[in-house]
């Protein structure tokens, strides 16, 4: 009886201390299918749903349980208890404590919500997608059900909100690993990593804490157009440390250096003049790359494809994957280059060009192309001769070959020079006839009255075509007795004029004319000829030789239309 009295007194004292909203301990009195009866030492028991227990099938009578006392009594006189709310309050206090001391908390990912993940760390917390990893993942599904450590970055006491970060933990771990790596790594070390990213210039490799750069030139001994041709993201690789900059935390890596260098003793394996076989691996506008052995490529420049054919692009005559033979023209071990040639497999037709095209002999061909400085004449397949613009006429000043020739025209010419080293044949069209200037002073005499047609106008005078296609120059001072400011105000192209010959210079191939002297007497003509011949370049009027020289400069092919307008 005494013991019972003491127990009732103890219960009475404890009941007085019970406060709604406090966490107290109780014991399981009865296990029911969907709920448990709990004794907290109060005059009445409380009921807790089985769903509030993590493993309700393992609960037994007599088990101790901490509960939140929500109400001492309800309408039925029962205590309102909650195990779940007691755990939440305890967990929240734990979360606040961890946050204040900047510690870590472990949690399990429960699901995906807008902007991130829901994590159970004792209470529900939010993990933003940007804080899941260093690089925000595209697939959040892969994290559901996994347990990780997190850092608490934000807490809202009123709303009971918790924001987590996993990225900060990963960054700290990587920083520690990076420091350990940089303090221990040496140039020449072999390291393992995973390809993290691929760019045009190379690949970034994750070395478990620090990223290293594998430049495109260090991927393979063979030429690599783009790193993606040989590497893929996520691939594990074994690489050599080529350089380390500890201040900037940069590491340069090499993959080809883990293999034997095929360029060692390259000169011995591929001496100049040797014929080699290979496969066309790449075609560029300037040439074709040919792999002659694993890791070794040579270049056939477009100019080394044929002695005579005009090949614009290597792709016109070669195909990718094609097997070809070529001659080694040169090897540069330092720059890892081999020059190859295909045309050297056949005789060079230019070697005996002097026997086939003798200087002074007449040849025939077809005008293939014309430029401002001359015309190209095809003498045979792949062999051209060039008629320079100055070799088209003895007497006329030609601004463009089209004044005499037409593209596709068949023509004859004289071989006047051969440059075998540069593969050039110079032809002369005017050389088909005798040079009329040899006897020009017999055809034109000082004082002769001549007729002609104005063909060109310059700032200093006008050119007049005389009989036989010979040009003479009427200087601006010889147009009129009155002062002439602009030639085109007195003369126009196509005008028929009468003039006196006042100068014949056979050595300089110059004929000077005077329109104003057409009506001069012999004495006037003599005085004018003396005055004209004695002019010096520094005076207001230029001499005849200077006028012709100025004409050559002023009537450049690219400017002829503008000058004549």
* CATH numbers and ranges of domains, the chain: 2-86 (2.40.50.140), 102-170 (2.40.50.140), 185-258 (2.40.50.140), 269-344 (2.40.50.140), 349-432 (2.40.50.140), 438-564 (2.40.50.140)
Stretch 454-475: mean pLDDT = 88
Q: What pLDDT, on a 0 to 100 scale, did the predictor assign at position 246?
A: 81
Q: What pLDDT, on a 0 to 100 scale, did the predictor assign at position 9?
A: 55
Tell which wins on pLDDT, 461 or 525: 461
Cα separation, 278 vs 326, in Å, equals: 8
Q: Identify the three-state secondary structure at position 548.
A: helix
Contacts of 3 (CB under 8 A, 6+ apart): none
Integer CA distances (angstroms), 137 to 119, 132, 133, in order: 16, 7, 7
Q: What is the pTM of this model?
A: 0.43
DSSP state of 54: S
Q: What pLDDT, on a 0 to 100 scale, did the predictor assign at position 21?
A: 64
Q: What is the pLDDT of residues 250-290, one digit of tens each?
A: 889 998 888 878 888 888 889 999 999 999 999 999 999 99
Element (H, E) at 9: helix 2-17
Q: Is the pLDDT of residue 507 over 60?
A: yes
Q: What pLDDT, on a 0 to 100 scale, did the predictor assign at position 559?
A: 41
- DSSP letters for 295-351: TEEEEEEGGGS-SS---S-GGGT--TT-EEEEEEEEEETTTTEEEEESGGGS--GGG
Q: Identify the three-state secondary structure at position 388.
A: strand
The tokens describing 395, both together, are 């007497």
Q: What is the pLDDT of residues 361-411, one digit of tens each?
A: 999 999 999 999 999 999 888 788 999 998 998 877 788 999 889 999 999
Cα separation, 192 vs 240, in Å, equals: 9
DSSP state of 133: S
Contacts of 533 (CB under 8 A, 6+ apart): 503, 543, 544
The average confidence (pLDDT) of the chain is: 82
């Amino acid at each position: 009886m005494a013991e019972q009295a003491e127990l009732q007194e103890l219960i009475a004292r404890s009941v007085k201390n019970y406060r709604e909203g406090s966490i107290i301990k109780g014991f399981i009195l009865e296990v029911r299918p969907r709920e448990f009866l709990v004794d907290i030492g109060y005059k009445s028991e409380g009921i807790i749903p089985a769903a509030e227990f993590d493993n309700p099938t393992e609960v037994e009578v007599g088990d101790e349980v901490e509960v939140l006392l929500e109400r001492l009594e309800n309408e039925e006189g029962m205590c309102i208890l909650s195990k779940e709310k007691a755990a939440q309050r305890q967990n929240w206090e734990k979360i606040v404590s961890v946050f204040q001391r900047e510690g870590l908390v472990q949690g399990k990912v429960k699901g995906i919500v807008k902007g991130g993940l829901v994590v159970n760390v004792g209470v529900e917390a939010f993990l933003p997608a940007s804080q899941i990893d260093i690089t925000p993942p595209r697939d959040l599904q892969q994290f559901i059900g996994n347990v990780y450590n997190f850092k608490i970055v934000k807490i809202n006491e009123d709303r009971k909100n918790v924001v987590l970060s996993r990225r900060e933990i990963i960054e700290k771990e990587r920083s520690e690993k990076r420091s350990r790596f940089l303090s221990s790594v040496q140039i020449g070390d072999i390291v393992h990593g995973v390809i993290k990213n691929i760019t045009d210039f190379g690949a970034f490799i994750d070395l478990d804490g620090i990223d290293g750069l594998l430049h495109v030139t260090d991927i393979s001994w063979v030429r690599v157009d783009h790193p993606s041709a040989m590497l893929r993201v996520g691939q594990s690789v074994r690489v050599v440390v080529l350089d380390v900059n500890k201040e900037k935390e940069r590491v340069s890596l090499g993959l080809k250096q883990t293999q034997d260098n095929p360029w060692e003793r390259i000169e011995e394996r591929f001496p100049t003049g040797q014929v080699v076989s290979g496969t066309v691996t790449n075609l560029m506008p300037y040439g074709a790359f040919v792999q002659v052995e694993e890791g070794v490529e040579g270049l056939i420049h477009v100019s080394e494809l044929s002695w005579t054919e005009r090949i614009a692009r290597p792709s016109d005559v070669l195909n990718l994957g094609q097997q070809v033979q070529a001659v080694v023209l040169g090897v540069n071990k330092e720059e890892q280059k081999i020059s190859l040639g295909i045309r050297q497999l056949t005789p060079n037709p230019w070697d005996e060009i002097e026997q086939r095209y003798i200087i002074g002999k007449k040849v025939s061909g077809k005008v293939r192309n014309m430029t401002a400085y001359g015309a190209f004449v095809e003498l045979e397949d792949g062999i051209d001769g060039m008629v320079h613009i100055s070799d088209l006429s003895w007497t006329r000043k030609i601004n463009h070959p089209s004044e005499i020739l037409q593209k596709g025209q068949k023509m004859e010419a004289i071989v006047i020079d051969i440059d075998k080293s540069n593969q050039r044949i110079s032809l002369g069209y005017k050389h088909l006839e005798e040079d009329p200037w040899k006897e020009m002073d017999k055809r034109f005499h000082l004082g002769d009255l001549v007729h002609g047609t104005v063909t060109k106008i310059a700032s200093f005078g006008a050119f007049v075509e005389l009989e036989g296609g010979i040009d003479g120059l009427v200087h601006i001072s010889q147009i009129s007795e009155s002062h002439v400011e602009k030639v085109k105000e007195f003369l126009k192209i196509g005008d028929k004029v009468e003039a006196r010959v006042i100068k014949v210079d056979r050595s300089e191939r110059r004929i000077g004319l005077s329109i104003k002297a057409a009506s001069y007497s012999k004495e006037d003509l003599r005085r004018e000829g003396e005055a004209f011949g004695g002019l010096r370049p520094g005076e207001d009027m230029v001499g005849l030789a200077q006028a012709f020289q100025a004409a050559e400069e002023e009537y450049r092919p690219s400017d002829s239309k503008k000058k004549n307008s």
